[in-house]
Amino acid sequence: MISTAPRAVDHGATVVGAFTLLLFGFAQGREIQRVSVDLFVVTVQVVFLEAISSMAVFTGFVAITGLLLVREVWTSRDTIEPVTDGPRLTAIVPVYRDHKVMDESVESLCESTYENLEIVVVAEPNDEATLKRARELANANERVECLINGNPGSKAGAINYAVRETDAEYIAVFDADERVTPEFLSRGMGALLEDADVFQGRRIPRPTGVIETVAYCERIVFHASYKIVELSGFANCRSSSTVLTREAFERVDGYDDVLTEDLDFAHACYREGLTVEQARQCTNTMEAPHTLRDLWGQRKRWRVGQIEVLHATLIELLRGQLGRRGIISIGRMCSSLLGCLFTLALTSKLLLLFILDVESAFLLPAAILVGTIALVAWRDTRDGRIDGLSWTVVLAPLLYPAFGILTLKSLLGYGLSWDGTWYEVEKTGS
């Protein structure tokens, strides 16, 4: 348990830090900027607040990243040739306290169009309810095998153990609550047999209610932001909706036992120079958090995990263990954290423009963001991945300042009060 004193310092530091960033943004936004334009015989000087130029840059960022995401999501899946039969593929589903939801992944994987498939459910030895359900599923389908984790205690350990226990040259990894489309593995294998090392699909929360829609919108905002860094060659491969070769797995020494093993894996793949086929037009779904507490707790866990990975990578740098790609990897993580903190300063600049009756500074990027979400959701609805969105989609612009507070809280918490524990979201199977 975290003691009261560090926690109080953590909360107090978050308030002070947020206020400082807001104050900084407000002061910076009031600065006067001038641009001179020479028009032959006259020179025109345009005078405006720094807040306007900041919002213009932000609006451009939202528009460009949103357009890139929409383009990828709407790309035809036929660009990836599916393979329905070929080398043996082992799909690994690590489970822990997932007896209510694991049917989603196992049963959907059983419907896969890829024929030479075995499904390995890896359960923890002390989780009787999940073990019982895993054995029932294994008895009901010849494709399914129940494996007791010989390296218990973490998702990474479960995946690594399952890989050691199988001799398949091709591996796929899914979460217990994932609903996997029948053709997903066929397309993943098609990409790997065309010389990709890793195939990464898109995974979205099922927006079945008010909070669940916020979670869906948050993932779209993040997927859009990834598009900028992906232009540099970095790809976000994960530990879910992921298909990879055994060779790729061994080159990065599998998954590390950290809070966000998937993020650590993505950076390890980049540093190793692996070829990652990013395919967000191939979409699976997962259960979304059902309460604000769960949504905040899960996202904070992911953010603290990112800071943990950055911390470990910086230590490697100080030891002289990183090359050029390692330094770029650090830059990628730092830019992500700083970008989220920037949204707090941007919020106060936006408030300044509101005071000055410049409502378009908010309305334009908000309209672009909601439009991006609508276009992606249209595709997901048309493909049968989701049934529609709740009215809370209009709250999507508030996600940006929320990212800032979450990042600040995570940074301070990691340094002041984090004791290695992690937040577990309640999964109901609904």
Going by their DSSP bridges, the two strands 170-173 and 242-245 should be labelled as antiparallel
The label of the residue with tokens 């507490």 reads 293
Q: Please, are residues 219 and 205 in contact by the beta-carbon 8 Å criterion?
A: yes
Nearest-CA neighbor of 202 among 214, 182, 219, 227? 219
| Dihedral over Cα of 274, 178, 194, 170: its sign | positive
**pLDDT tens digits, residue range 215-249?**
999 999 999 999 988 888 888 899 999 999 999 99
DSSP-derived secondary structure for 136-192: HHHHH-TTEEEEE-SS-SSHHHHHHHHHHH---SEEEE--TT-B--TTHHHHHHHHH
What is the rounded distance in angstroms from the CA atom of residue 374 to the CA atom of residue 390? 12
Q: What is the pLDDT of residue 216?
A: 98
State pTM to two decimals.
0.94
Task: Calculate what percentage of the chain has a pLDDT beyond 90.
Answer: 84
**pLDDT tens digits, residue range 129-151?**
999 999 999 999 999 999 999 99
What is the rounded distance in angstroms from the CA atom of residue 135 to the CA atom of residue 129? 10
Q: What is the pLDDT of residue 424?
A: 87
What is the rounded distance in angstroms from the CA atom of residue 148 to the CA atom of residue 132? 11
Q: What is the pLDDT of residue 3?
A: 59
What is the rounded distance in angstroms from the CA atom of residue 148 to the CA atom of residue 127? 10
Q: Which residues of 376-402 are buried (b: 16+ CB within 10 A; e: fewer)?
A: bbebbeeeebbeebbebbeebbebbbb
What is the rounded distance in angstroms from the CA atom of residue 124 to the CA atom of residue 128? 8
Nearest-CA neighbor of 178 among 298, 288, 292? 288
At 419, the pLDDT band (50, 70, 90 cuts) reads confident
**pLDDT tens digits, residue range 17-65?**
999 999 999 999 999 988 888 777 787 878 889 999 999 999 999 999 9
Token digits of residue 30: 């009031």
The letter for the amino acid at 18 is A
What is the C-alpha radius of gyration for the chain, rounded to an integer number of angstroms?
23
Beta strands in 40-106 (DSSP E): 42-49, 89-95
At 7, the pLDDT band (50, 70, 90 cuts) reads confident
**pLDDT tens digits, residue range 157-182?**
999 999 999 999 999 999 999 999 99
What is the rounded distance in angstroms from the CA atom of residue 368 to the CA atom of residue 400? 14
What is the rounded distance in angstroms from the CA atom of residue 162 to the CA atom of residue 172? 11
The label of the residue with tokens 């109901």 reads 428
Q: What is the pLDDT of residue 1?
A: 47
**pLDDT tens digits, residue range 65-117?**
999 999 999 998 888 999 999 999 999 999 999 999 999 999 999 999 999 99
Reduced to 3 states, what is the DSSP secondary structure of residue 32?
A: strand
Residues 6+ apart with CB under 8 A from 113: 82, 84, 182, 183, 185, 186
